[in-house]
Amino acid sequence: MKLIFSLFIVLALAACSSTKPVSTTDISDRSDSRSGINGNDGRSSFGMNPLQDPNNILSRRSVYYDFDSYSVANEYRDLVLAHAAYLRDNGSARVLLQGNTDERGSREYNLALGQRRADSVKSIMLLSGARDEQVESVSLGEEKPRALGNDESSWAENRRTDILHQGEY
Amino acid sequence: MHLRNLICIIWMLLVGTTTGLHAALNIEIYGGGGSKIPIALVPFAAEAQLPERVSAVVAADLERSGLFKLVDTFGASPHELDQVNYADWQNRNAAALVIGSISTQPDGRLDVRFRLLDVAKRIQLAGFSSIVTTDQLRALSHRIADVIYETLTGEPGFFSSRIAFVRKQGDQYALQISDYDGLNARSLIEYSEPIISPAWSPDGSRIAYVSFEKKKPVVYVQTLATRERKAVANFKGSNSAPAWSPDGRKLAVVLSQQGGSQIYLINADGSGLQRLSQSSSIDTEPTFSPDGRWIIFTSDRGGSPQIYRMPASGENTGRAERLTFEGDYNVSPRISPDGKMLVYIRRNAGGFNVAVQDMSTRQAQILTDSKFDESPSFSPNNRMILYASEINRRGILSLVSVDGQVKQRLSPDMDNIREPAWGPLPGKR
């Protein structure tokens, strides 16, 4: 019963947030993530894993990049900082950062470029309180494209670092 | 190779050594792909009933090299020496003539005989007889092409060499080994996760490659004969870009365990890790020079990816030197087996193309005009370059001669091939 009730709340919030402007969602995301971090078991007040909670910024897992770039743009800072705080407050938590590139160019060079993208996320996390043994940054290069087209929108989707928490890889 | 044991040489060279024979034929084979050796290949007696037509395989091999021109054999079909009318072949402007026959033995095996003849001098230059099973016919045909190539050019052939590549079928990735022409392929390993960067050990007995089966890149070494495999670089972070040292004892690999992508040296059994490159940039795609003195690699330390070389003992023992200066994207270097040429991929206005560069003059030349070329590697005799290209979003194997004169797509019916790597000649130690 409790589960059904919390599911109802989550769904209601999800429906709600989709109609709000993005900035408002960000603010509520941040307060959600704080409540999740306060509980040492990593659970939110709804009894839901904050990593799965669509209203929690921790459910956002992807950082996107410009062509040939590996620096984390400002719009993704809060997202990376939230995951870093989660790691800081949950000592046993682990993440795998997978860097990806678009398909153009050498596979091995792209593997190295994807590594740089994952490393750039890792270094922000380490500066923000995560410990080195909690974060492994690896690259999938161009080998696991999420978008399969050969146009700019597909390429942009594939220039990405994904944050995977324990049990997700 | 088992075939070698089966080959019994019955009647051999009637004339001296093979060196200098191309001079005897008075044909210039070097320089701009100008003149080619005119050669007549008469279909072997009784070959039409067999699954492989020996003379057709030999003809395809010789033509692919760009050094031969096939002479029409219409109306003449000698199979034995006493059936050869030399004057007729002289009139057809053939410099060399190949004849042969195949007969079936009581046990079902095939007795294949071939002769290579000098039309002007009216002598036999080479020939042998070999008893093979039907499924060895193709390998034997490549061997005949090698003998012809070696006899007439004075250089080793490459038709008996093998290549490795990755074939993608649906969600499956197969690391495959085939004849140099892409045919006769068989899988070494198959996975539902990507495989990249196959690299042949110098003796052709093992292949190193990168598999993503552990959700991240890990370097494996697999022995062809036993299929035994071992993860030799599985450190924290990414492990990739294996390259064998010329003695086959060590591998250069790229690791991200200390941050960034840096080049390390490791024993082929995974022990004895040692860092070679020392930059805060991307250093990847290492390859050894054939003399073992240098490691050639890709780095973006100058702001864009370019080709560099450093001493094989590492950057601590000598400064890295930049080798490419034209273009803002030069990657995937490989050195020719004789150490004289460098091949790599350059991003051009229109796409990614194969470029060759003379190691001493540093002169570079772009050989292809396709859109997405990748992974170039040299034939064992330095003459040809195998690379991956793309047509209609499908990866294909292609060949180009180092002078750019001959280009060929291999096996266009094969679907989605990538990451080709040309292996050494069989029996090389």
pLDDT value of position B259: 83
> Which residue in chain B has the smallest CA separation from A123?
B259
Question: How many angstroms away from the CA of A114 is the closest CA of chain B?
Answer: 10
* Sign of CA pseudo-dihedral A49, A52, A55, A57: positive
Q: How far is the alpha carbon of B260 from chain A, nearest alpha carbon, in Å?
A: 6
The number of folded domains in chain A is 1
* Mean pLDDT calculated for residue range B201-219: 96
Task: State which residues form the domain around A100.
Answer: 2-165
User: Do the two domains B2-153 and B162-422 of this chain adopt the same fold?
Assistant: no
**Which pTM does this prediction carry?**
0.85
Confidence of residue B411 (pLDDT cuts 50, 70, 90): low
A36-70 tens-digit pLDDT: 343 344 444 556 889 989 899 999 999 999 988 89
Report residue B273 as tokens: 């890790």
Neighboring chain A residues of B194 at a CB cutoff of 8 Å: 140, 143-144
Check residue A46 and give its pLDDT.
Answer: 59
Rg (CA), chain B: 23
Q: Say what percent of chain B tops pLDDT 90.
A: 82
pLDDT for residue B412: 62
Q: State mean pLDDT over B179-203.
A: 95
Query: Domain boundaries in chain B?
Result: 2-153, 162-422
Q: pLDDT at position A68, please?
A: 80
Per-position DSSP letters for B137-157, written without gaps between them: HHHHHHHHHHHHHHHHHSS--
Predicted confidence (pLDDT) per residue in B60-106, tens digit:
999 999 999 999 999 999 999 999 999 999 999 999 999 999 999 99
- From the list A98, A115, A136, the residue facing B261 with the nearest CB is A115
Arithmetic mean of pLDDT, B361-389: 95
CB neighbourhood size of B97 (10 A): 27
Which of the four CATH numbers 3.40.309.10, 1.10.490.10, 3.40.50.10070, 3.65.10.10 does domain B2-153 have? 3.40.50.10070
pLDDT attached to residue B215: 87
B360 pLDDT more than 50: yes
Q: Residue B4 — pLDDT band, cuts 50, 70, 90? A: very low
Q: What mean pLDDT do residues A113-121 have?
A: 96
Q: A119, B236: Cβ pair inside 8 Å?
A: no
pLDDT above 70 covers a percentage of chain B that reads 90
Give residue A16's pLDDT: 38
Contact A115 B238 (CB under 8 A): yes
Q: Which residues of chain A neighbour B198 with C-beta distances below 8 Å? A: none
Q: What are phi and psi of B241, to 5 degrees?
A: 55, 50
Q: What is the band of A169 on the pLDDT scale with cuts at 50, 70, 90?
A: confident
Q: What is the topology classification, in CATH, of domain B162-422?
A: Neuraminidase (2.120.10)
The pLDDT of residue B8? 36
**pLDDT (tens digit per residue) in B103-147:** 999 999 999 999 999 999 999 999 999 999 999 999 999 999 999
Distance from CA of B99 to the nearest CA of A (A): 45
CA-nearest residue to B345 within chain A is: A106
Helix, strand, or coil here: A19?
A: helix
Q: Which two tokens stand for residue A145?
A: 């494209």
CATH of the domain at A139: 3.30.1330.60
For residue range B389-399, what is the model confidence (pLDDT) as tens digits? Answer: 988 888 999 99
Complex ipTM > 0.90: no
pLDDT tops 50 at residue B17: no
Cross-chain Cβ contact A138/B345 below 8 Å: no
Render pLDDT for B282-303 as a digit per residue (tens, 0 to 9): 999 999 999 999 999 999 999 9
Cα B31 to Cα B62, B297, B362: the distances in Å are: 18, 30, 18
Chain A interface test: which of B238, B298, B328, B377 (most A C-beta within 10 Å): B238
Tell me phi and psi for residue A126, to 5 degrees: -70, -35
